[in-house]
Amino acid sequence: MRMKTFRAATTTAAFAKVKADLGEDAVILSNETITDNGCKCCEVVAAIDHTPSSSSSKQTRDDVVDEALQDSAGWQREWSQIKSQIMALMKPQIELNRLSPKQKIALEYLEREDVNEKVLARLYCALRDEPKRSIMAALDPLLKATPFEQKHWTAKFQAFTGPGGAGKTTSLVRLALQFKKNHPRTRICLATADGGRGKGRLVLKHYAELSGLAFREIITREDFALLHKESDQFDVIFVDLPGLPGNTTLEEWLQLYGMHGCRDMSMHLVLNPYYSEAQFERFFEKYKSEQLASVIWTKLDEACTFGAVLNMACASGLPVSALSYGASLKNSIKAASEEMVWRLLFMRTLPNGDIQP
């Protein structure tokens, strides 16, 4: 048996080191938060029964590329066949002449705004042969908003997840400060699980100190268990989660940190509207979780179409809770309403009234 100790700023980073060095079969013997040179970090002791095989090192780079392409080419061919068959089945059924001229214009407009084919097909089914039905009547059931206000979001833990750079830390700080402004006596804690020494951690710490909010770090599952135990002293705890590395899914990450199934937690997925369709599909797989409760859209000021907001609402069934439209800390995020989203989609109007070119 080979035993080795790994240290890293976070549990995720330490586990990644274990995987890279000892492989998938490594057994974790301990996982603790320790202090190293005055900084908190995670120490994992792992062991493996055998020496990892080095057969892969005999492969040349060309072998590896060939092997990967062989696999993916077959898979991609199959997928694109399925996709084109589905589209071929659907397309002829979308007969635009079964819509009124007004409905047709609305559908064509939404297509230009990057509303995807699945959503357009649903709208078409709701409108066809009903020339008097308004586009809004068909759209209404597809998208809901639950404004990010204290009365709507009552769980003790409000966690922010999503890809790196999406605007999680920024939105979290802005929304926490809004809670504080609207209800000054609320006992708020800002907790970071995003990298022991990362920039997000410093931002959160800075604003917590500046605004008299409590601050906690979550480096291992022990830290979260501890925070959970002391959670009675806070009314709300905002948790900043990291962008997840590699193939790690949100569910796996939550299991690792003991947050999986935490009943008193609402999780908000932070996204930008200008990712590609393929990227959205990937994020959808990576971040899907029973614990997700809403989507927060950020960087609206940098987007030129907003179809993604509707696409995501239809695919996930999640309400939109906040809309962010600027890098500055003040006046750049609003608790979402359905009207705001429709203005965004149909008039390219941001929640502050600015119109996107």
Ligand X SMILES: Nc1nc2c(ncn2[C@@H]2O[C@H](COP(=O)(O)OP(=O)(O)O)[C@@H](O)[C@H]2O)c(=O)[nH]1
325 binds, among ligand X, Mg ion, none (CB under 5 to 8 A by kind): ligand X
Binding flag, residue 161, Mg ion (CB under 5 A) = no
The stretches of 188-331 forming alpha helices (DSSP H) are: 199-210, 221-229, 250-256, 277-287, 307-316
302 binds, among ligand X, Mg ion, none (CB under 5 to 8 A by kind): ligand X
196 binds, among Mg ion, ligand X, none (CB under 5 to 8 A by kind): none
Binding flag, residue 334, ligand X (CB under 6 A) = no
Binding flag, residue 298, ligand X (CB under 6 A) = yes
Give the whole-angstrom CA distance, residue 285 versus residue 288: 6
Among 146, 169, 266, 321, binds ligand X (CB under 6 A): 169
Among 168, 201, 216, 334, binds ligand X (CB under 6 A): 168
When the beta carbons of 243 and 258 are compared against ligand X, the nearer one is: 243
Structure letter (DSSP) for residue 140: G
Structure letter (DSSP) for residue 55: G
CB atoms within 10 A of CB 318: 18
DSSP 91-102: GGG--GGGS-HH
| Radius of gyration of the chain, Cα coordinates, nearest whole angstrom | 24
Q: Which region, judged by CB under 5 A, interacts with Mg ion, from 4-12, 188-196, 297-305, 323-331?
A: 188-196
The stretches of the chain forming alpha helices (DSSP H) are: 11-22, 61-90, 101-112, 117-127, 135-139, 168-182, 199-210, 221-229, 250-256, 277-287, 307-316, 338-347
Q: Which region, judged by CB under 6 A, interacts with ligand X, from 112-120, 160-168, 218-226, 347-355?
A: 160-168
Among 10, 22, 159, 167, binds ligand X (CB under 6 A): 167
**Smallest distance from the beta carbon of 243 to ligand X, in angstroms?**
6
**Smallest distance from the beta carbon of 52 to ligand X, in angstroms?**
33
CB burial readout 198-228, b (16+ within 10 A) else e: bebbebbeebbeeeebeebbbbbbbbbeebb
**Could you tell me how far CA 277 lies from the centroid of its own chain?**
15
Question: With contacts defined by CB under 6 A, how many residues of the chain interact with ligand X?
Answer: 19
Binding flag, residue 170, ligand X (CB under 6 A) = yes
11 binds, among Mg ion, ligand X, none (CB under 5 to 8 A by kind): none
Binding flag, residue 332, Mg ion (CB under 5 A) = no
Give the whole-angstrom CA distance, residue 313 versus residue 334: 18
Short-list 195, 211, 191, CA closest to 262: 191
Binding flag, residue 351, ligand X (CB under 6 A) = no
Among 124, 234, 325, 342, binds ligand X (CB under 6 A): 325
10 binds, among ligand X, Mg ion, none (CB under 5 to 8 A by kind): none
Binding flag, residue 169, Mg ion (CB under 5 A) = yes
Binding flag, residue 200, Mg ion (CB under 5 A) = yes
297 binds, among ligand X, Mg ion, none (CB under 5 to 8 A by kind): none
Short-list 311, 339, 314, 129, CA closest to 323: 339
Binding site for ligand X (CB under 6 A): 162, 164-170, 200, 243, 270, 298-299, 301-302, 324-327
